[in-house]
Structure 1
Amino acid sequence: MKKRRRPVHLHVMLSEAERDQIQDRMDEAGVRNMSAYVRKMALNGYVLHVDLSPVRELVSLQRRCSNNLNQVAVTANTYGGIYPDDIRRLQQDYADLWGPLSELLKQISEIVAL
């Protein structure tokens, strides 16, 4: 039988309301393992929950920029030239990407400063 990494058992009695409150906080933090959550809270006193929805939007913008760049590259290689509108569209897509990215980095730096 292999040794457990954490061999000490800790038993805590809770009311149903307290358990529900812990479960709600776990859901807010995106944690599924109650043992890991309780251990983290007991040792560190807090769990940092990061809303990644702005990152998802940035990934979507980045994909769109990459697709547009690939289409322009195919056009340039096939026909030997690029239309000025294609270049302007790429520039606009990258501008759309850098604005939210700068804002996200600013928010992250504020969180880290806490």
Structure 2
Amino acid sequence: MANRYRDKNIFIRVTEIEKEVIKRKSIAAGYKTINSYAHNMLLNGIIIKVDLKEILKLNTEINKIGTNINQIAYKANSSNRVTTDDIINLQLLLRDVQNIQSEMIKKLTDR
């Protein structure tokens, strides 16, 4: 691509505010011109689309786990004892949270 001749145009219209935002972003990214910034972003930029349904599902699962942890904490505080089963349950709940987080990270990074 060293000796390429760019003979095709792409035009877009932006507002004055949008132009200033693009200009600031191009300067912050170290580009000398908006054209070089736009060219690079159009060819190499990425778009991150987050599925909010998945995030809401994750949030619901974590809330359920938090409720279970609170129930164990309430039991421990009211009886002043924590059983081995309680500790095992907490460890399992923590592992569930870690698994859910790992799944979400994998889904978000596999795009």
TM-score by length of 2: 0.48
Higher Cα radius of gyration: 2
TM-score by length of 1: 0.47
